[in-house]
Chain A
Amino acid sequence: MKNKSILLSVLVVLSLLISTFSVGAIDPGETIKIGVVCPISGSAAIAGKYIINGVKLLDEEIKAAGGVERDGVFYPVEFIFEDNEAKEDITANAYQKLIYQDDVLAILGPDMSKTILAAGPIAQAAGVPNVGTFPTNTAVTEIGDYIFRACFIDPFQGQAAATYAWEAGYKTAGVLFNNADAYSKGLYEFFKLTFESLGGKVVEAQAYSGSDVKDYNVQLTKINAANPDCIFMPNLLSEVGLQIQQARSIGITAPLIGGDSWDTPEVTQIAGPKNIEGSVYVAAFSAENPDPIAQDFVNRFKEAFNGDLPNSNATLAYEAGKMIVEGIVNSETLDRAGVRDAIAQIKDLQLPSGTLTVGPDRNPIKGASVMRYDENGISRFLTIVNP
């Protein structure tokens, strides 16, 4: 009895080993399966809808071309969508299903740091290339060499904001940041590093702790006393509206600069359109970007989805798909490891949000859009910065 069960478990382990070795390789002309993990239901379902539409646009593009061409052979591509409800455990289940049941070549998504941080190790252990769409936390690509992302990381925004500030002619900057929040602190540190290496100076940096203090008057008064050319406020959505309002009400007139947390209409609602006019922030993508590749993407998206404009979620999902396709085209061997190696070597890939190169840490090096609020408090595309 005991011997039998040992034999059985040995057989199970052996069959598992064999199956891991044999999966992934694709014969010429065979359909390539790519798993897409995104929130189709639940609290983030709106983001999920845009992700699906971004992938669908790429799907149509591939179908119209007759498949993905690699060494003169066309491979049809099938996208398999899995709902993760924006939850960690369900994302892990979706990864298990895609890898061990559907036998996908690569996984596209998810969009949130917390979900890819939970499930990424599964893809890493199975050796499946995984390109996240919008997980900005630095730890994501540190999971392992199979994990990539299409978006820039948080600290990069600080770098982009500093480059913009310097190019706009500002010589001195003040900073108001949350020293209890990794996003805010990271953006501040990279802003200071970049701004001072360009020749600027951060004359006053004031911190506050946590999101519970809603009074920034003291910090803003001190920043104002240093009279900086611009003020960087890389803070959370729930704080930044009040900060803009308080800054203007104590008489600060210097232009304000923010990160992608400003990229929502609620900031204008709380700050008031008059207070926010002229402020700028760094965003992943703008549908108003006049670049021909961007405009082509925007127009095709609008045509396909009843005039709906692509947002950052849709664009990054499309771009993550493009990265995987690029990996398939350039792979030496058409299997998971070959595609991984090819994605890691992507250089100057032309995408709607700018030129993308995959860096040594598997984070993309790409341009950022700078947006400016007009007199009605609506953000408009201003320029692209390439740090």
Chain B
Amino acid sequence: MTTFLQFLVYGVQLGSVYALLALGYSMVYGIVRMINMAHGDFLMIGALSAIFIAMGFSGFMVDGRYPFYIVLAIILSAMILTGLLGVLVEKIAYKPLRDRPRMSSLITAVGVSMFLQNFPRALPFIGPQPRPFPQLFPLIQFRLGGVVVTSTQIILIVVSIILMISLDAIVQKTKFGAQIRAVSFDKDASLLMGIDTNRVISYTFLIGAVLAAASGIFYASIYPQVDVYMGSWLGTKSFIAAVIGGIGSIRGAILGGFILGITEILATSINSNLGYGIGFVILIVILLIKPAGILGKTEIDKV
């Protein structure tokens, strides 16, 4: 039982990374109906920029640790930097293709993803080799019964949940959220109603990239190794999570992320040789029962 609970902790930890990243996929899809394949790479950019910002702040270290306000500054500036990159990518690569066939923007997104992986790889001070991630959060182990929980895990899970709840509140309760929902419902009609759709789309990319940066920093805090390719597979996993939950739905993305994380860990614990595959079989079964995802709405294409 304690091992089961321990595995559940690992599952929730992995799931919260997937959930944060899946949010970005879901929001962008919900609004511009495109799959931003480069979203996972925003996670990598977030983690990488945190490494370099932390290097810049190394003069502030006390006893080899960063004080709390510096950690906050590192995280926020990495998030803002990545957010701005997200907006830039949207302006340069996606906006000119918005009215073209959907396939064009999908291919462009794949291109952006490759660029974001290979450009830093070619830079001599980054390169392809994995690098360690600085320890930003204190590492304290707690024992609850037989279950070991670390302070980093608690911070990751709590902050992720706070971020998700506040995003949900913004979208559901604020005027800006109403604009997002309107654009997602019908872009042309909301333009006629006086909503600046370009601004809404830019903000969506900003929020998505900021959340990706946050998940990158949290991910790298638990698994302290960063390389330029880390975003590609994490992105794929989170995209699957978004589809499971029902792409376009924010709550669905969160649910999908946790389901994927927990299934993956538990399936591995049953049989490590097959676990990875078993996890995906379960996910396929979910999609067979609910093709639009757990919280997704079945849409009827209007002709």
Contacts and interface: CB of A to CB of B under 8 A. Distances in A.
Contacts of B141: 249
A15 interface: no
A218 interface: yes
Interface in A197-225: 206-210, 212-215, 217-219, 221-222, 225
A218 B150 CA distance: 16
Given A212-B233, A242-B225, A249 B7 contact: no
Given A237-B130, A250-B148, A179 B273 contact: yes
Contacts of B225: 214, 238, 241-242, 270
Given A215-B223, A217-B10, A218-B265, A207 B272 contact: yes
A345 to B, nearest CB: 41
B10 A215 contact: yes
Given A221-B3, A221-B7, A238-B227, A208 B272 contact: yes
B224 A242 contact: yes
B227 A222 contact: no
Contacts of A245: 224
Interface in A259-318: 266, 269-270
Contacts of B33: none
A210 B10 contact: no
Contact of B10 (A218, A237, A266): A218
B224 A270 contact: yes
A169 interface: no
Nearest to B150: A249
B276 interface: yes
Interface in B264-291: 264-265, 268-269, 272-273, 275-277
A251 interface: yes
B14 A215 contact: yes
Contacts of A207: 272-273
Given A207-B272, A250-B148, A269 B14 contact: no
Contact of B130 (A206, A208, A266): A266
B268 A219 contact: yes
B129 interface: yes
A215 B234 CA distance: 12
A213 B6 CA distance: 18
B131 interface: yes
Name, among B130, B131, B141, B272, the residue most crowded by chain A CB atoms within 10 Å (CB to CB).
Answer: B272
Contact of A221 (B6, B223, B227, B273): B6
B67 interface: no
A210 B276 contact: yes
Interface in B249-275: 264-265, 268-269, 272-273, 275
A207 B273 CA distance: 5
B111 interface: no
A251 B141 CA distance: 11
A222 B233 CA distance: 25
Given A212-B233, A270-B130, A242 B223 contact: yes
Nearest to A179: B273
Contacts of A206: 272
B138 interface: no
Given A221-B3, A241-B225, A270-B225, A208 B148 contact: no
A214 B130 CA distance: 13
B276 A209 contact: yes
B151 to A, nearest CB: 12
Contacts of B224: 242, 245, 270
Chain B contact residues (Cβ within 8 angstroms of A): what range?
A: 20 to 34
Contact of A219 (B132, B223, B234, B272): B272
Contacts of A249: 139, 141, 150
Nearest to A217: B10
Contacts of A215: 10, 14, 223, 265
B269 A218 contact: yes
A118 to B, nearest CB: 22
Contacts of B273: 179, 207
Nearest to B7: A218
Contact of B129 (A212, A246, A266): A266
A209 B277 CA distance: 9
Contacts of A219: 268, 272
Contacts of B264: 213
A206 B275 CA distance: 11
Contacts of A210: 276
A222 B269 contact: yes
Nearest to A177: B272
A206 to B, nearest CB: 4
Given A179-B273, A214-B223, A241-B225, A269 B132 contact: yes
A209 B224 CA distance: 20
A228 to B, nearest CB: 15
A209 B237 CA distance: 14
Contacts of B148: 250-251
Contacts of B234: 212
A219 B10 CA distance: 12
A238 B272 contact: no
Interface in A233-253: 237-238, 241-242, 245-246, 249-251
Nearest to B135: A272
Contacts of B3: 221, 225
A48 to B, nearest CB: 18
Contacts of A242: 223-225
- Which of B6, B234, B268, B275 neighbours the largest number of chain A CB atoms within 10 Å of its CB? B268
Interface in B3-22: 3, 6-7, 10, 14
Contacts of B130: 237-238, 241, 266, 270
A222 B7 CA distance: 11
Interface string B291-303: 0000000000000
A320 to B, nearest CB: 27
22 contacts: A207-B273, A209-B276, A209-B277, A213-B264, A214-B225, A215-B10, A215-B14, A215-B265, A217-B7, A217-B10, A217-B265, A218-B268, A222-B269, A222-B272, A238-B225, A241-B130, A242-B224, A242-B225, A249-B150, A266-B129, A269-B132, A270-B132
